[in-house]
Structure formats: C-alpha cells, structure tokens
C-alpha cells in the first residue's frame, strides 16, 4: 500500500515538473523569439502537379544579406560564410530561377526573404524580369494547338510555375507594419555584418510553411485539403431590359480584374490589371452621361476574375452564356446560401447571365495592360485583320490616345494572353481588339511582385485619353448620336488609380464603402468557396460602381439593401434598379456536384487550379549561439539526463530498502 502511494507521489511530482516546464517555456518564449508578420509563397495545384512552396520546418539559419550577383556567386561557391545554415535576405532583382536553385543546391539555405519595390533602388528595378512563363496561359488560350504561336514573354522566368523545396517570403515596406518589419530585419543584418557573421551570438530566423494539399487538384479536392482558385466576375449593362432573344447585337468591353505574383498577399498589378479596370470603369462613367437607352446595340461591361489562372472567369462566363440553363429547386447536398435565389439547384444569385446570348455578341474591346508608363502609346491587337481591322481603325480615329495597329510593322502576332480568347474560341468571326501599351512583349512587370508603383500623371492622362477614345468608338458603333459629348473624367481616373493601388480607404471609396485604415488590398483572386461564394473587396467595389453608373435611380433613399425592392440595390444611399451581377469564376476543368457537395476535376485540359489549405505560416527571429556552444549544451543536457536517470535508480533502491519492499 505504501509503495503504491509512493508511485502516485512520484508520478504527481513528474507531472507537476513537466507542467511547470511547459509553463516556463510559454512564459520565456517572447523573451527568446520574435514572431514577424509575413507574406509567404504558398502551394497551388492543378490536374497534374503542384507549384509554389511547402516546407513544414527547415530549422534555423543565420540571417545573411546578399547584395549583388557577385555576393551570391561567392556564397554558392563557399567563399562566404562559416555557419552550417543561413536565412538569406536578397533583393527581388536577384530573385531568379537560376539563383534560387543555386542557393538551394548548397544545402546551407533554410529560407529566403525577397525584398520588393519599397526596399529597391532604380538600378535594381531595372534588372527585374517577369516571373511568369515565356508564354503565359498558352495551354488554355486560343492558340494552344498552334505550333508556331507567338511568345509574348520571351524573358519570363516561370518562377510562379515552379515548385520550391525551401520556404520563401516576400517583404515590401509600404505600410507601417511592413516598414517596421523591414527595419527589424535590416537591423538584424547590420548586427550580423558588424560581427562578421562569425562572432556569436548572431541573429537568426526560422520558417514554417505547412501546406496540407499534395499530389494534384483531384487528390487534394477528394481529401478536402484545397479550394478552387477563383472569385466572382462582374458584368453590367445600361440596357435594363436586355434579353437573350431580343436579336440585338452586343458590344462587350472587357478587362481582367486581378493579377498574379509569387506572393499573393502582396499582389497589386498596377500595369497588369489595375490600369485596365480603371479604363473600363472610366468608359462606363463617360457613357453614363449620354443617352444609352435607345441604342441599336447593347453595351456590356465585363470584369473577369481569376484570368491568370487559365482564363477561369471569362471561360466560365462564355460557357454559361453559350448553353441552355436549367433552373430547378431540386434538393442539394448543402443548402443554397442566397436568400430569394431564383433557383437552388444549381444555386445562383441571379439569372442575369441567361439574358446574354453568345450568338448576339457583335464586337469585343478589351483593355489589357494600359498604364502606358513609358509613354509609347497604345497598340490594338487582333486575331484576324480582315475581321477586326476596321474596329482598330475606328479606335485610331476616335481621339488623341495614340492607338496604333500592332500589326502595322507587317508582323501578325495575333492576340496576347487575354479574356477575348475565350469569346473567340466559341465564335471566331467576332470583331475583337485587345488594347495594350506594348506591341511585341508583355514587359518585365507582367505578373510581377514589383508591379505596384503609383500611377504617374502621364499614365493617368494616357488612360483618360484611351477611355475617351474607346467610349466614343463604342458609342458610335452602337449608333449613338453626338460622340463629341463623350469624354472620360480624368479626375475620376486619378482617384481610381490611387484607391486601387495604394489607398483603398481613399475619400472616393467612402462613397461606396464604410472603409477605414486599409491602404493596399491584394489583387490576387483568392479562393472560390463553392458552398457560399462571397465577393472580395475589389469585385464588391466594381459591382457597386457599375450598378451606380448603369442603373436607374428609383428616387428612394436607403441605408441597406433591405430598404429597396427585391430587384434593386442600395448604392450611395439610393435605391437603384440595375442590370449588374456577379458571376462565378473558377476553372472550367472543375465542376461542383450539387448532389454530393463535392468539387471534381472533369477536364484536365482546362483550368483546374486549386490552392492548398495551410497552417498559419511562421517567420520568427532570435539570437542563436555557435554550433560549438550548441554541442556543449547538448552534451550537458545528455549528462543531466544520465544523472537524473541514475538518481531515479538509486532512489528506487533506497526506497525499496527503506520500506523493505521485495
């Protein structure tokens, strides 16, 4: 009996000891480690493979700053550094596929921190190359089967299509928080430099990016470890009574609503997508100030989500307006989340897309990258000069926007990566022009993490002139009268560029949202929740703005949408009747099964992109002792363990002898 009591006492003491040790460790953690806010590269998957980053834990590494290509080469060759492991800090200009693989091959790198625009000078920015592939989205585009398809991004590194075995984080000091973190990291660098990276203790980092998904999209969807990459597109028309069978031609104005880069949370895309979105909204506002109700053609504004991911938004839109839609209220695995849904199987917010007939689409004008940062003017790209050349000529003659045919040098490169391809894949003889600020190459900022600069006055004026020329062309094509009255608002263009690039809580945005304290918002599309899709901030704004400029004020005030009729929206505290709607945007290679509530890969040749679920990524810093010191600590720890075990054995013998236990 006494022995059993003794055992209980010993177990209780050990439990208390471990609990106390755990409590001490928790209390000591903030004195040892500092967790930093972080912006990681994450894992994505498609029908055949994975890309991005996934590293559960890599251990710690001494913070080391590589400042030049020579520094990097010396590190790779083993001429620099005495530690066994390093956490590398380097500028985005050195962030190339070749350099990353070279660093990884040394076996001494536990993680990378890439310094973006806010930490770079002009010389470094000049050396940046696009991280996208030489032929972005080609396998999903109009020319996927063409053997001699034009290569639009010849210097593209395909970084964003690579899978990495080391954790990679981005750091762009633009907000107060990111500036503090950048300052902290650079203080660590200076500390280690002053000690020659050899006099311990030194500043170190460790990383953790655990991604649950593996293998491919089909596998991770079956296991429930990923979600489709996507969001909600937005479309609108001033023709409130548009019908699929009204026989009226439709002129489409299009732009991609989001961009892509290595670090999704830092994605902006000033040139890649924001400039096109702003140009489209400026056209819509300009045409809202002239009569559009009695035109011989409908005008349709479309902003597509998830375009960098296999043209997901435009392909799904074209697919849905090209096939009969069956609306039922049959039972489904998960309750339809929308109140007053027109049908629940499939569950949709609106039937607006069924009023658009693909066969009625007469012309498409798309804004691609139109920031015109270098002042070279604009270029009109077409698939067929015979079919679409006259539309380019109309744009050239509509104003002083310096628009030129991209094929004027005698080379027909056809269309760059664009939403227009999705429409032409269905109806190739449609008149279509893609307007860009490049003739031959997408440029170094295409889908780049440093495509986030504020727009210059030159760029704002160029976008405004382009919007005016395009609005005049569309109005004339729809047989509107008095195109001289059509003009874009350059003040609006400046406000939109400021709000969407660097200050989402700007005064202009307060007209549409009650937002504060938001500087930048990511232009990465995010993931599409098929069970309850909700718009991100960018599509929410686009929807509200287009509803405002294309709708009809019902002369009633409101505070929320509940104050308006079922077919109206509350915009600027006024009830508005509008033909504006969201549309699901995720890869057409994926399909949601309403009966089972599962998402399945149905066509691997189309967009099947998914994003892994993950544990919270971690980036923490601390002082680390030398390897010799750590070995001494280990030896001391082992000796302490042996001593403890010896004490337990002797204690056991002592108690047996004292209590005379056999």
Question: How many CB atoms lie under 10 A from the CB of residue 439?
Answer: 20
Residue 607 confidence class, pLDDT cut points 50, 70, 90 = very high
134-138, 374-378, 446-450, 539-543: which range is least confident on average? 374-378
The 10s digit of each residue's pLDDT in 164-188 is 999 999 999 999 999 999 999 999 9
Question: Phi and psi of 200, rounded to 5°?
Answer: -75, 160
Per-residue pLDDT at 28 exceeds 80: no
d(CA 582, CA 526): 16
Residue 110's H or E segment, with its range, is strand 109-115
H or E segment and range at residue 601? strand 598-601
Q: In the predicted model, what is the mean pLDDT of residues 19-31?
A: 58
Q: What percent of the chain has pLDDT over 70?
A: 91
| CA dist 107 → 58, 61, 64, 77, 84 (Å) | 11, 11, 15, 12, 9
d(CA 536, CA 570): 18
Please check the confidence at residue 373 and state whether its pLDDT lies above 60: yes
Supply the pLDDT for residue 198: 87
Is residue 512 scored above 70 in pLDDT? yes
Mean pLDDT estimate for the chain: 91
Element containing residue 25 per DSSP (H, E): helix 2-32
pLDDT for 10 beyond 70: no
The more confidently predicted of residues 599 and 374 is 599
d(CA 110, CA 61): 6
Q: What is the pTM of this model?
A: 0.92
- Position 108 scores a pLDDT of 93
Decide yes or no: CATH 3.40.630 for domain 237-583: yes
Confidence check: pLDDT of 262 > 60: yes
Q: What does the alpha-carbon distance between residue 610 and residue 52 come to, in Å, rounded to a whole number?
A: 12
pLDDT at residue 294, as a whole number: 87
Determine whether 122 is exposed, middle or buried from the number of CB atoms within 10 Å of its CB (0-12, 13-18, 19+). exposed
229: DSSP letter: B
Residue 337: pLDDT above 80?
yes
């Amino acid at each position: 009996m006494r022995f059993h009591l003794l055992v209980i006492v010993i177990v209780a003491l050990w439990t208390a000891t471990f609990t106390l040790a755990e409590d001490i460790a928790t209390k000591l953690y903030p004195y040892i480690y500092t967790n930093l806010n972080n912006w990681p590269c994450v894992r994505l998957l498609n029908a055949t493979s994975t890309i991005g980053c996934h590293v559960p834990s890599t251990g710690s590494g001494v913070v080391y700053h590589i400042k030049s290509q020579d520094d990097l080469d010396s590190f790779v060759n083993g001429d620099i550094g005495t530690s066994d492991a390093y956490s590398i800090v380097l500028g985005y200009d050195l962030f190339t596929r070749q350099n990353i693989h070279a660093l990884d091959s040394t076996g001494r790198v536990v993680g990378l921190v890439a310094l973006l625009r806010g930490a770079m000078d002009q010389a470094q920015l000049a050396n940046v190359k696009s991280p996208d592939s030489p032929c972005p989205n080609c396998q999903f585009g109009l020319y996927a089967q063409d053997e001699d398809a034009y290569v639009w991004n010849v210097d593209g590194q395909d970084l964003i299509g690579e899978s990495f075995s080391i954790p990679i984080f981005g750091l762009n000091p633009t907000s107060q928080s990111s500036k503090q973190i950048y300052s902290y990291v650079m203080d660590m660098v200076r500390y280690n430099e002053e000690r020659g990276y050899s006099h311990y203790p030194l500043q170190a980092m460790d990383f953790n990016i655990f991604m649950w998904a593996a293998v491919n999209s089909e596998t991770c969807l079956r296991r429930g470890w990923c979600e489709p990459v996507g969001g909600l597109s937005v479309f609108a028309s001033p023709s409130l009574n548009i019908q699929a069978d009204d026989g009226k031609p439709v002129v489409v104005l299009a732009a991609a609503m989001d961009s892509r880069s290595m670090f999704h949370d830092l994605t902006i895309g000033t040139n890649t997508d924001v400039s096109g979105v702003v140009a489209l909204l400026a056209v819509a506002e300009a045409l809202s100030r002239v009569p559009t109700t009695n035109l011989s053609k409908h005008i349709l504004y479309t902003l597509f989500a998830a375009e960098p991911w296999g043209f997901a938004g435009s392909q799904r839109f074209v697919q849905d307006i090209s096939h009969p839609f069956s609306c039922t209220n049959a039972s489904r695995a998960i309750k339809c989340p929308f109140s007053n849904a027109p049908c629940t199987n499939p569950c949709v917010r609106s039937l607006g897309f069924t009023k658009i007939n693909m066969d009625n689409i007469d012309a498409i004008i798309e804004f691609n990258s139109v920031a015109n940062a270098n002042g070279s003017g604009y270029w009109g790209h077409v698939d067929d000069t015979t079919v679409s050349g006259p539309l380019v000529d109309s744009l050239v003659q509509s104003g002083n926007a310096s628009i030129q045919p991209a094929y004027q040098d005698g080379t027909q490169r056809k269309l760059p990566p664009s939403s227009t391809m999705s429409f032409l894949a269905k109806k190739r003889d449609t008149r279509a022009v893609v307007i860009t600020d490049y003739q031959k190459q997408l440029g170094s900022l295409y889908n780049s993490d440093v495509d986030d600069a504020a727009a210059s006055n030159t760029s704002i004026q160029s976008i405004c002139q382009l919007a005016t020329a395009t609005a005049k062309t569309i109005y004339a094509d729809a047989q509107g009268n008095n195109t001289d009255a059509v003009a874009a608002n350059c003040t609006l263009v400046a406000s939109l560029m400021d709000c969407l690039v660097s200050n989402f809580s700007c005064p202009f945005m307060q007209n549409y949202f009650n937002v504060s304290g938001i500087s930048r918002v990511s232009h990465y599309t995010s993931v599409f929740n098929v069970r309850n899709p909700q718009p991100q901030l960018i599509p929410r704004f686009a929807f509200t703005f287009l509803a405002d400029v294309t709708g009809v004020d019902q002369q009633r005030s409101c505070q929320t949408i509940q104050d308006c009729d079922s077919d109206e929206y509350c915009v600027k505290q006024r009830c508005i009747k509008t033909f504006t709607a969201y549309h699901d945007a995720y890869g057409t290679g994926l399909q949601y099964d309403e009966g089972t509530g599962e998402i399945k890969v149905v066509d691997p040749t189309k967009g099947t992109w998914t994003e892994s679920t993950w544990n919270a990524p971690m980036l923490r810093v601390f002082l680390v002792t030398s390897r010799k010191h750590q070995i001494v600590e280990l030896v001391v720890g082992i000796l302490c363990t042996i001593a403890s075990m010896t004490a337990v054995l002797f204690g056991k013998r002592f108690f047996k002898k004292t209590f005379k236990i056999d």
